[in-house]
Amino acid sequence: MGRPSEVLATTAAATGAAASKDVLYQEHVNPQWVRLLEVLQMNARYTRCQGTELFTADGRRIVDFLSGYCVHNLGHNHPAIVEALKDELDRRGPAMLQSHVPDLAGELAHKLCRRAGGRVNKVFFCSSGSEGVEAAIKFSRAHTRRTGLLYADGAFHGLTCGALSLMGDPFWRESFGPMLPGTEAVPFGDLEALERKLASKKFAAFIVEPLQGEGGVRVPPAGYLEGVQTLCRRYGTLFVADEVQTGMYRTGRFLAAHHFNLEPDMVILAKALSGGLMPSAALLMSDEVYESVYGSLARAIVHTSTYSENSLAMRAGLAAIEALESEHLGDRALTAGDFLRTRLREALSSYEMVKEIRGMGLLNGIEFQAPRKLALRVPFEAFGQIHPGMFGQVVVMRLFRLGFLTQMCGNNFMVLKVAPPLVVNEREAGEFVNAARDVVEMMHSSGTFWSEALGLARRVLTV
Ligand SMILES: Cc1ncc(COP(=O)(O)O)c(C=O)c1O
């Protein structure tokens, strides 16, 4: 999930955004979104999407380095997922009777638990990452009989009320309060702060992304997650891994938790779970947690969701696992990720506004920093004052013009996400590095980058 700049969103009218093709969407869905895309000159009409490539009505080819925020691990419209869905529709089997045992759900749950390993052995299916987080909140409370919930600063867990209560950034919260009581934040990476909170024994769960996605692709410090698990066990708090972005081989392993030999009490999967074509999410949990929620006949349906085990989502999930593994996309994520980070470091590290290139597998970020040179600092600070997201959006716009779809992290405007589908090839990765270098070179040496940014700022201000 990304975050359109709230300032830019208000600028829209200045651009005369409303192309006729968008009229119905503007009228009935979200006109501000259309206008924001127009302001950013990114309102392309996509006609075909395949693998890493997006083709537009005006004949452009854009390479996707965003993957719909880690939905498209398999690339767009992977033939195996398309075929599985067609086949399932042709079969005309039970889709959502709500009064039978959906065997496809059992099959998918079995595969997910086998791959996740450790403690988890039961699955609750739902339709979005946020819904998975909501379930984790309820289930951890039921299991521990505690009400408190801990989360990490910078986290992104979703925008339903419970999930939102586990995200500190005021942008997302403003005007939607009050949040759930009993939710508290700790700094990501700080075990002492975590232990101080856990020692109160009032927290049902610590919900954490192993690698923070929207927080700026923050890689945990060595030993942090292992320490989190130990501390959670010590104080009776459930350790919940939000793998909505990091799961399904995005970081090279089935779960990012596997890089650290973790055995969380619960794991949340979504996004790439169903190959990018069906809404689907899963909360994996231990038998003990399951028992606390559904432990008697009377409670068999105490937490459900209408579309949760629908056969199309389940078929897509099974096909996605099969394709990810038969194409060895975990290994590919590791190799391509190493290649990208190495090449990006070689190309960008000498530039003063590039602070760090980091990530795991194909979840990577380029962090920018304020320039020291006066000639750059003046324009940087000028539009930073207008809106902190302005600088990043100009980077995204420039990359888009060079044929790459990217976005800044939703909770950190200074980090550009580099997260192509896992099927990305070396040529595309190399071309992206060249494009990133051209944009970074331009911001350091050409007035055009900054004057364009100031032009964007002016459009914002004239509304
Ligand atoms: C780590 C993480 N958790 C949860 C969510 C919420 O998922 P959804 O948008 O499917 O509700 C997101 C969405 O971006 C996410 O990145």
The pLDDT tens digits along the chain (463 residues) read 445 444 444 444 444 444 566 899 999 999 999 988 988 889 999 999 999 999 999 999 999 999 999 999 999 999 999 999 999 999 999 998 989 999 999 999 999 999 999 999 999 999 999 999 999 999 999 999 999 999 999 999 999 999 999 999 999 999 999 999 999 999 999 999 999 999 999 999 999 999 999 999 999 999 999 999 999 999 999 999 999 999 999 999 999 999 999 999 999 999 999 999 999 999 999 999 999 999 999 999 999 999 999 999 999 999 999 999 999 999 999 999 999 999 999 999 999 999 999 999 999 999 999 999 888 898 888 878 878 888 999 999 999 999 999 999 999 999 999 999 999 999 999 999 999 999 999 999 878 888 877 777 666 655 4
Rounded to 5 degrees, what are φ and ψ at 368?
A: -100, 160
Short-list 162, 168, 104, 117, CA closest to 136: 162
| Tokens read off for 158 | 């979703």
How many residues make up the chain in this entry? Answer: 463
Q: Ligand 1: which atom is nearest the Cα of residue 271? A: 10
Q: Whose CA is nearest to atom 8 of ligand 1?
A: 129
In eight-state DSSP terms, residue 219 is P
Taking each helix axis from N to C end, the angle separating 447-461 and 31-39, rounded to the nearest 10 degrees, works out to 150
What are the catalytic residues? 156, 242, 271
Q: Is the CB of 158 under 6 A from ligand 1?
A: yes
Q: Is the CB of 156 under 6 A from ligand 1?
A: yes
| Secondary structure of residue 285 in the 3-state scheme | strand
| The model's pTM | 0.94
Contact 120, 351 (CB under 8 A): no
The pLDDT score that the predictor gives to residue 108 is 98
Q: Is the CB of 213 under 6 A from ligand 1?
A: yes
Amino acid at 38: E
The pLDDT score that the predictor gives to residue 13 is 43
- Which residue in this structure is represented by tokens 């700049």? 5
The pLDDT score that the predictor gives to residue 214 is 97
Ligand 1 centroid – CA 14 distance (Å): 32
CA-only gyration radius of the chain, Å: 22
Ligand 1 centroid – CA 216 distance (Å): 14
Q: Ligand 1: which atom is nearest the Cα of residue 133? A: 4
Q: Partners of 55 in the beta sheet?
A: 48, 61
Q: Is the CB of 243 under 6 A from ligand 1?
A: no
The pLDDT score that the predictor gives to residue 2 is 42
- Indicate the top mutation candidate among 1, 133, 250, 267 to test ligand 1's pocket, ranked by most ligand atoms within 8 A of CB: 1
Q: Ligand 1: which atom is nearest the Cα of residue 160? A: 11
The pLDDT score that the predictor gives to residue 69 is 96
Contact 192, 224 (CB under 8 A): no
Q: Is the CB of 76 under 6 A from ligand 1?
A: no
Ligand 1 centroid – CA 129 distance (Å): 5
- Indicate the top mutation candidate among 245, 248, 363 to test ligand 1's pocket, ranked by most ligand atoms within 8 A of CB: 245
